[in-house]
Amino acid sequence: MELAVSEHSLISRLPSVRGKLRPGADLAKSNWFQVGGLAEVLFKPENTQDIAQFLKHKSSDIAVTVLGVGSNILIRDGGISGVVIKLGRGFTDCHAEGDRVTVGAACLNSNVVEFAKNHGIGGLEFLSGIPGGIGGALAMNAGAYGFETKDILVEAEVVDPHGTIHVMTPDKLNYSYRKCGLPYGWVFTRATFQGHAEKSDIIASNAAKIAEQRQNTQPVRSRTGGSTFKNPEGFKAWKLIEAAGCRGMKIGGAQISEMHCNFMINNGNATAYDIETLGEKVREQVLHHSGILLEWEIKILGNLPEAQSQEIIAA
């Protein structure tokens, strides 16, 4: 059962915005798993000031959830209550100055690498190995191939839940492995990254090697949310999953990838419940086999429909 949406009840309580407010938006179209319910209200802001003014003037009892390009999230079938902020075109610009690149939080990681290549700025190529956009990379200190977002970050623009805009350096963000230390509800809008002067053909070669490695080892053409679980200290999540006998495991339309077993995929008819249930089953089997409880890297958002909640209670 999807989130019940009253078309005007919440909209009427929201402050005016320069962007767009849409009740009952289908969030399955906004994430890479292509599952999930409705947003009670979807807010697509025009710019950073639009976000700041909205957060400053909205009622404190109205929940806010922030979505990037939807790569590393799972939205439950019951949808998301309150307001979902999704950054769009107003947050995809890129600028170069010397060997630094400043980009909007909705810019795809791969596009940042391409922009940097065209301006002879190297050192950002690892971003092409991370599915999704800059906002998500900032929010979780995303990493790949030995590098993390914090390693190249000069500063980030972020809006707090009260509508104040901050410019913060990595030390203020308290980054750790796949984690940002800011409280929930802060919205990343822009970032400046430090690169170095490099020939464009070398940058292109580095990015191509990463792309080839991803295609050979990850289900990049499937409906997936990227890496499912964080690597426990001293271990690789995929090795623990394989050792527990979970490679290829299926529940409904969800499956653990045969190519890389720290990826879950939607075979075309999965529900969010199938995917979450499969993930929890994997965690259970890994714990039983190795004594290690895997921690979700994918962020799970939203509400379980009543029927699914009853199934969990019954179980």
Catalogue all structural domains in the chain, each as residue range(s) with its CATH number: 11-89 (3.30.43.10), 92-198 (3.30.465.10), 221-314 (3.90.78.10)
CA dist 217 and 80 (Å) reads 33
SS (H, E, C) 285-297: HHHHHHCCCCCEC
Helix H or strand E segment including 10 = none
pLDDT at 239 over 60: yes
pLDDT score at 9: 84
pLDDT in tens, 241-273: 999 999 999 999 999 999 999 999 999 999 999
Characterize 151-171 residue by residue with b for buried, 16 or more Cβ atoms within 10 angstroms of its Cβ, and e for exposed. ebbebbbbbbeebeeeebebe
pLDDT in tens, 107-145: 999 999 999 999 999 999 999 989 899 999 999 999 988
Instruction: Provide the annotated active-site residues.
Output: 178, 227, 297
DSSP string, 59-88: -TTS-EEEESSSSSEEE-TT-EEEEEEE--
Residue among 97, 99, 28 nearest 67 (CA) = 28
Q: How far is CA 252 from CA 268, 273, 276, in A?
A: 10, 9, 11
Residue among 169, 136, 165 nearest 49 (CA) = 165
Residues 6+ apart with CB under 8 A from 172: none
Residue corresponding to tokens 């400043």? 102
Q: Name the amino acid, one letter, at 59.
A: S
pTM (2 d.p.) = 0.90
